[in-house]
Amino acid sequence: MATATPKPFRAIVVGGGLVGLTAAHILSKAGIDFIVLEKHSSIFTSRGTQLALWPQTFRIFDQLGLLDAVRPILDWCKRTYVLSAEDASVRMEDYTFDIMEKQHGYQVQFTQRHEIIKFLFESLPESAKASILLGKAVDQIIDEEDRVTVVCHDGTSHVGSIVIGADGVHSRVRLLTHAMRAAVGPEDLPEADQTPFMTSYRLYFGDIPILPGLKPNTKYDATHDGMTSQIVYGTEKGAFGIYEKLETPTSKPKRYTEADKAELLKRWADFYMAPGRTVSDVDSFRLSDAGLINLEEGIIDDWYWKRTVLVGDAVRKLEPHAGLGYNCGVTDLVVLINKLRKLLLCPNEDSSSSNGALPGTQALKGLFKSYQADRAEDTQAMSDTSMKTVRMLAWPDWKYRVLAKYALPYLPLTSIAAKTIIGPLVADTPVLEWLKEGVLPASAMPWKHHPKL
pLDDT reported for residue 94 = 86
Is residue 34 scored above 70 in pLDDT? yes
pLDDT reported for residue 282 = 97
Is residue 190 scored above 80 in pLDDT? yes
DSSP characters over 303-340: -EETTEEE-GGGTEE--GGG--HHHHHHHHHHHHHHHH
d(CA 29, CA 4): 10
pLDDT, tens digit (0-9, with 9 covering 90-100), for 121-173:
999 999 999 999 999 999 999 998 889 999 999 999 999 999 999 999 999 99
Mean pLDDT of 244-264: 95
d(CA 108, CA 93): 17
| H or E element that contains 167 | none
Query: Highest mean pLDDT range out of 64-68, 185-189, 345-349, 396-400?
Result: 64-68
Is residue 354 scored above 50 in pLDDT? no
Our measurement of the distance from residue 437's CA atom to the centroid of its chain's CA atoms, rounded to an integer in Å, reads: 23
pLDDT reported for residue 1 = 37
Is residue 2 scored above 80 in pLDDT? no
pLDDT reported for residue 28 = 97
Name the pLDDT band for 352 (thresholds 50, 70, 90): low
Superfamily of domain covering 10-74+105-195+299-390+414-427: FAD/NAD(P)-binding domain (3.50.50.60)
Question: Where is average pLDDT lowest: 108-122, 378-392, 429-443?
Answer: 378-392
Exposed e or buried b per residue across 394-406, where buried means at least 16 C-beta atoms within 10 angstroms of its C-beta: bbeeeebeebbee
Q: What is the share, in percent, of the chain residues with pLDDT greater than 90? A: 77
In angstroms and rounded to an integer, the radius of gyration of the C-alpha atoms of the chain is 22
Q: Contact 323/230 with Cβ under 8 angstroms?
A: no
Exposed e or buried b per residue across 248-266, where buried means at least 16 C-beta atoms within 10 angstroms of its C-beta: eeeeeeeeeeeeebeebbe
Q: Which amino acid does the sequence have at 24?
A: A
pLDDT, tens digit (0-9, with 9 covering 90-100), for 288-334:
899 999 999 999 999 999 999 999 999 999 988 888 999 999 999 99
Mean pLDDT of 352-369: 79
Name the pLDDT band for 5 (thresholds 50, 70, 90): very low
Domain boundaries, the chain: 10-74+105-195+299-390+414-427
pLDDT, tens digit (0-9, with 9 covering 90-100), for 66-75:
999 999 999 9
d(CA 328, CA 377): 12
Q: Which amino acid does the sequence have at 267?
A: R
pLDDT, tens digit (0-9, with 9 covering 90-100), for 191-231:
989 999 999 999 999 999 999 999 999 999 999 989 999 99
pLDDT, tens digit (0-9, with 9 covering 90-100), for 76-94:
999 999 999 999 999 888 8
Mean pLDDT of 370-397: 88
pLDDT reported for residue 6 = 41
pTM of the model: 0.93
